[in-house]
């Protein structure tokens, strides 16, 4: 099953060193039965994009913690193909939320790495500043987070990881 893991650039550095990452608190996002029930229209690709967007928003929450030093305003999402036997659906936490147990993902299971482009940093910075208010339903904050979510994330093959770490 394709699972979208919210991450930061620090996560990528760790993945490059150890060839393994651990999903933060064991959570990821995927096309789940609850997400399929939520969307009455849309094809599989559109519904998968909704799960991806949930992971991208969760990356904003990770950046809000402030642990990212190299690229504090760039969202990162890792797309991985995970065996369904380690996935538990968590619809009470959101339609696309899944719990991974174990939460470790090997580099060989990663299908793609997605990173905000430099031009997106200003919008992501603004979203980081209001992510809590957005979660509480404050309309202006939701719009600010939506602006960041509308930005393009570059796609990279996992084989490019060492070059990403070195060149970015």
DSSP labels for the chain? -EEEEEE-HHHHHHHHHHSEEE-GGGEEEE--HHHHHH-SS--HHHHHHHHHHHHHHHHHHHHHHT---S-TT--EEEEEE--GGGEEE-GGG-TTEEEESS-EEEGGGEEEEEEE-GGGHHHHHHHHHHHHHHHTT-HHHHHHHHHHHTS-EEEE-GGGHHHHHHH-
Mean pLDDT of the region 4-33: 96
Predicted confidence (pLDDT) per residue in 92-133, tens digit: 999 999 999 999 999 999 999 999 999 999 999 999 999 999
Structural domain boundaries, residue 37: 2-159
Q: Specify if 16 maps to a domain.
A: yes
Better-scored residue on pLDDT, 68 or 113: 113
Radius of gyration of the chain (CA): 15
Q: Specify if 54 maps to a domain.
A: yes
Q: Specify if 151 maps to a domain.
A: yes
* Total of domains in the chain: 1
Q: Specify if 101 maps to a domain.
A: yes
Percent of the chain with pLDDT over 70: 100
Cβ density class 124-158: b for 16+ within 10 Å, e for less: bebbbebbeebeeeeeebeebbeebbebebeebeb
Provide the pLDDT for residue 40: 82
Provide the pLDDT for residue 161: 97
Q: Specify if 123 maps to a domain.
A: yes
Q: Residue 168 — pLDDT band, cuts 50, 70, 90? A: confident
Q: Specify if 124 maps to a domain.
A: yes
Provide the pLDDT for residue 6: 98
Q: Specify if 166 maps to a domain.
A: no
Q: Residue 41 — pLDDT band, cuts 50, 70, 90? A: confident
Provide the pLDDT for residue 153: 97
């Amino acid at each position: 099953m394709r699972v979208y893991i919210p991450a930061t650039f620090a996560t990528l550095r760790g993945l490059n060193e150890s060839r393994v990452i651990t999903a933060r608190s064991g959570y990821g996002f995927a096309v789940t039965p609850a997400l399929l029930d939520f969307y009455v229209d849309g094809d599989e690709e559109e519904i998968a994009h909704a799960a991806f967007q949930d992971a991208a928003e969760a990356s904003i929450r990770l950046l809000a913690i402030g642990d990212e030093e190299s690229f504090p305003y760039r969202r990162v999402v890792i797309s991985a193909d995970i065996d369904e036997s380690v996935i538990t659906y968590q619809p009470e936490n959101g339609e696309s939320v899944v719990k991974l147990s174990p939460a470790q993902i090997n580099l060989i299971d990663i299908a793609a790495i997605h990173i905000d482009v430099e031009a997106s940093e200003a919008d992501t910075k603004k979203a980081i500043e209001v992510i809590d208010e957005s979660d509480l339903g404050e309309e202006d904050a939701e719009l600010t987070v939506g602006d960041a979510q509308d930005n393009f994330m570059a796609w990279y093959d996992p084989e490019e990881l060492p070059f990403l770490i070195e060149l970015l």
